[in-house]
């Protein structure tokens, strides 16, 4: 019951379609003796100087005279109109050898195969074509199935297709296919991708042909913006000439941020309170949607700012980095070490073990100070009876055995880094049994009196030191400058 219903609905639909079809007028000729249908493409393109293979099968649908493959069958192609009022329109009749157009039935008509090879095409062959069967007394023209053939002077561009997601790390298949009207002389395909030359000419569903090359690649950010060029070279005129068509496409591959880097301006050391600019840069597709600045503190990284530009007044040093983020992921830049300029300070002579000392005991004089960049030179000297004497250079600690002549000596030390030098105040050893207060007063008075001249002497000493250590000249020159700068303050 329901099957019947479905079938009748189908018939009605078919009838409706047919009436719409025939009433349209354009194909008014095709309803009169609808005895022959062909299965072939409705439209085909071909290339001048080449051939066109027309896939074709026919069906006899209703007729008083039956088609019989036992009788001789001729195939006929008529151009322009289904009737052949003009005999010149019968451009091919398989019973004849002197046909107007260079066509050849390569299908077996007894198998209802009307596949035809149309050769040496020229643009004036562009037309509508009708197929006819002559199997006397059965004769019929497939007037409802015209085939529009367009003969092109130059081949259409091949088609580049990419399957899959255009994202980094994705594996996609890229193919280039070219129209192949003449499978007997297919185009040669070349492209700018690494070629494993596996060119294939394959039959499509509609039994026309296509020529194809294909490659699987795993995408990376480097593919973004790269151009794929594919060209098809068609042999024409029996291979004497060639016609070329080319296609190019630009890959748009999305990827997470790459080459994320942070920079600081001004570079190098900065003074506390001054302004610094941090800039983050990265490349990404789609572009970076968020830049985050992090400062590494004791508790780990802490977000301090958003945006690619971060400007602030320096209060302390620290380690910064930025993170660039887009839809696909994020990337962290390398670290920026923000270091505050810190000339030597708190320079002092430390005696250990702490005094009072006694003759014969061992003591260490340590030059203690702070600074950034780190202290690179220490110096230890003393003033003995108003004369300066060097004790130690380049070492922070001077250990010695106390003798009675150490009584009354004033010990000094100095620290130097790239930025400046600083000298300590004088320090005197306090001997066991000495009056502490008295000693300190002496130290103070002597310290003040001696310091000025000591600075001058110290500078002179550094000048002379340059000739002793010529290999360190650049550093020394710097040092002398620092000393000169130090004088006005």
| Footprint of ligand NAG (CB under 6 A) | 57, 74, 76, 84, 90, 93, 95-96, 106-107, 113, 115, 132, 134, 258-259, 265-266, 274-275, 277, 292, 311, 313, 323, 325, 329-330
Which residues neighbour 140 within 8 Å (Cβ) at sequence distance 6 or greater? 33, 35, 36, 60, 63, 132, 133
Q: 229 or 261, CB closer to ligand NAG?
A: 261
114 or 149: CB nearest ligand NAG: 114
Cα of 215 vs its chain's centroid, Å: 20
Least Cβ distance, residue 256 to ligand NAG (angstroms): 9
CB atoms inside a 10 Å sphere around CB 243 = 19
Nearer to ligand NAG, 318 or 408 (CB): 318
E strand or H helix at 283, and its extent?
strand 275-285
Query: Smallest distance from the beta carbon of 218 to ligand NAG, in angstroms?
Result: 15
- Smallest distance from ligand NAG to CB 330, Å: 4
Q: Report the C-alpha gap between 435 and 427 in whole angstroms.
A: 15
CB of residue 299 vs ligand NAG: minimum separation in angstroms?
Answer: 16
Count the Cβ atoms, other than its own, within 10 Å of residue 147. 21
Q: How far is the CB of 376 from ligand NAG (least distance, A)?
A: 27
298 contacts: CB under 8 Å, gap ≥ 6: none
User: Of 184 and 275, which CB lies nearer to ligand NAG in the complex structure?
Assistant: 275
Residue with Cβ nearer ligand NAG (50 or 333): 333
Distances from the Cα of 18 to the Cα of 30, 33, 38, 91, angstroms: 11, 14, 16, 30
DSSP code string of 451-466 = HHHHHHHHHHHHHHHH
Residue number, 225 or 266, with CB nearest to ligand NAG: 266
Helix (H, G, I), strand (E, B) or coil at 123: helix
Nearest distance in Å: CB 300, ligand NAG: 12
**Cross-sheet strand order for the sheet of 227-236:** 188-191, 227-236, 241-250
Q: Which of residues 327 and 485 has its CB atom nearest to ligand NAG in the complex?
A: 327
Cβ(141)–Cβ(131) below 8 Å: yes
Using the minimum distance from each CB to ligand NAG, give the nearer residue, 90 or 388: 90
- 34 with 59: CB under 8 angstroms? no
- Smallest gap from Cβ 309 to ligand NAG, in A, equals 7
Minimum distance of ligand NAG from residue 325's CB (angstroms): 5
Paired tokens of 100: 């107007």
Pair of tokens at residue 36: 């022959």
Q: Report the distance separating Cα 67 and Cα 292, nearest Å.
A: 81
Q: Are 215 and 128 in contact (CB under 8 A)?
A: no
């Amino acid at each position: 019951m329901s099957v019947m219903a479905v079938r009748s609905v189908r018939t009605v639909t078919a009838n409706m379609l047919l009436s719409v079809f025939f009433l349209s007028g354009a194909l008014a000729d095709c309803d009169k003796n609808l005895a022959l249908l062909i299965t072939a493409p409705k439209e085909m393109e071909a290339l001048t100087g080449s051939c066109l293979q027309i896939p074709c099968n026919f069906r006899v649908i209703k007729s008083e005279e039956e088609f019989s493959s036992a009788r001789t069958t001729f195939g006929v192609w008529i151009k322009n109109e289904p009737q052949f009022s003009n005999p010149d329109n019968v451009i091919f009749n398989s019973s004849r050898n002197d046909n107007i157009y260079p066509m050849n039935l390569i299908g077996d008509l007894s198998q209802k195969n009307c596949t035809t090879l149309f050769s040496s095409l020229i643009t004036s062959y562009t037309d509508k074509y009708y197929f006819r069967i002559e199997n006397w007394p059965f004769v019929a023209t497939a007037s409802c199935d015209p085939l529009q053939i367009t003969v092109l002077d130059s081949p259409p561009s091949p088609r580049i297709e990419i399957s899959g997601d255009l994202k980094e790390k994705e594996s996609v298949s890229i193919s280039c296919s070219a129209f192949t009207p003449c499978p007997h002389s297919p185009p040669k395909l070349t492209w700018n991708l690494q070629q494993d030359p596996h060119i294939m000419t394959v039959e499509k569903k509609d039994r026309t042909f296509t020529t194809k090359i294909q490659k699987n690649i795993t995408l990376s950010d480097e593919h973004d913006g790269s151009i794929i060029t594919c060209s098809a070279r068609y042999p024409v005129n029996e291979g004497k000439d060639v016609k070329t068509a080319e296609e190019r496409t630009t890959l748009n591959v999305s990827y997470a941020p790459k080459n994320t880097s942070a920079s600081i301006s001004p570079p190098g050391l900065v003074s506390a309170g001054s302004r610094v600019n941090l800039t983050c840069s990265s490349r990404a597709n789609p572009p970076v949607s968020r830049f985050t600045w992090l400062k590494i503190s004791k508790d780990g990284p802490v977000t301090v700012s958003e945006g690619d530009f971060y400007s602030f007044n320096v209060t302390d040093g620290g380690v910064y980095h930025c993170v660039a983020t887009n839809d696909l992921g994020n990337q962290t830049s390398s670290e920026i070490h923000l270091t505050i300029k810190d000339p030597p300070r708190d320079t002092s002579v430390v005696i250990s073990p702490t005094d009072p000392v006694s003759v014969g005991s061992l003591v260490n004089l340590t030059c203690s100070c702070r600074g950034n960049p780190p202290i690179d030179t220490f110096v230890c000297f003393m003033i003995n009876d108003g004369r300066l004497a060097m004790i130690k250079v380049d070492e922070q600690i001077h250990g010695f055995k106390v003798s009675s002549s150490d009584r009354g000596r004033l010990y000094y030390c100095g620290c130097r880094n790239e930025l400046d030098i600083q000298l300590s105040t004088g320090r005197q050893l306090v001997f066991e049994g000495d009056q502490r207060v008295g000693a300190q007063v002496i130290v103070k008075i002597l310290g003040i009196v001696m310091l000025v001249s000591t600075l001058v002497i110290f500078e002179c000493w550094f000048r002379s030191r340059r000739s002793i250590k010529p290999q360190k000249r650049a550093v020394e020159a710097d040092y002398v400058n620092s000393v000169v700068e130090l004088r006005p303050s």
